[in-house]
Copies of this chain bind each other. A is one copy, B any other.
Amino acid sequence: MNNETIHSGGWLKEYDALTEAAILMRQKYSYAPYSHYCVGAALLGEDGKIYTGCNIENASYPVGICAERTAFAKAVSEGCRKFKALLIAGAASDKRGSDLCAPCGMCRQTIREFCGEDFPIIMIKADGAGAVTDSRIYKLKELLPESFGPENLL
């Protein structure tokens, strides 16, 4: 698989749907009155469904939740615990397009609970019209190497 294929999303037929969903989440549903940094996420379940999320802040900052974790919360609470890919789009609220936005460590740990080390995590940069202008794709093991996980406790 060459770079062009990877970044055009040719390897994943739901790539465009994930992109649209994450951008919509960021632009329309994100609740970020404190940081004004809006993030959307789209999580593809093995059931073929797309579970979406946005960041939802709180006046007590530590009580807020990130977009990625919202997507996982939605999926698990709807019966899906196995996943195929996660796509993230984030940027300051005054930007129409999104930047390459990496998941925070807390979100990586959430992913770790349910996904294997090869689970793909996609960050996209999009222009105001929703066209992807740049992207990065990582495996979970590349973003959270040497991780702590369920097998340490169970």
Q: A residues touching B (Cβ–Cβ < 8 Å)?
A: 25, 28-29, 31, 33-35, 37, 52-54, 56-66, 69-74, 76-79, 81, 101-110, 112-113, 136, 138, 142-150, 152-154
Q: Closest approach, in angstroms, between the C-beta of A126 and any C-beta of chain B?
A: 17
**Which residues of B sit under 8 angstroms from A72, Cβ to Cβ?**
56
A60 to B135 Cα, complex, angstroms: 21
Contacting pair A61 B74 (CB below 8 A)? no
Q: Closest approach, in angstroms, between the C-beta of A122 and any C-beta of chain B?
A: 12
Contacting pair B62 A63 (CB below 8 A)? yes
Contacting pair B60 A148 (CB below 8 A)? yes
Contacting pair A145 B143 (CB below 8 A)? yes
Q: Closest approach, in angstroms, between the C-beta of A60 and any C-beta of chain B?
A: 3
Task: Name 23 A/B residue pairs within 8 A (Cβ), A-sorted.
Answer: A31-B76, A31-B81, A33-B154, A34-B61, A34-B154, A35-B153, A37-B153, A59-B113, A59-B153, A61-B61, A62-B64, A63-B110, A65-B65, A70-B74, A73-B73, A74-B77, A101-B148, A102-B148, A104-B109, A105-B105, A108-B108, A108-B144, A136-B146
A73 to B67 Cα, complex, angstroms: 9
**Which residues of B sit under 8 angstroms from A152, Cβ to Cβ?**
37, 59, 101
A103 to B71 Cα, complex, angstroms: 22
**Which residues of B sit under 8 angstroms from A106, Cβ to Cβ?**
60, 62-63, 105-106, 109
**Which residues of B sit under 8 angstroms from A77, Cβ to Cβ?**
25, 29, 52-54, 56, 70-71, 74
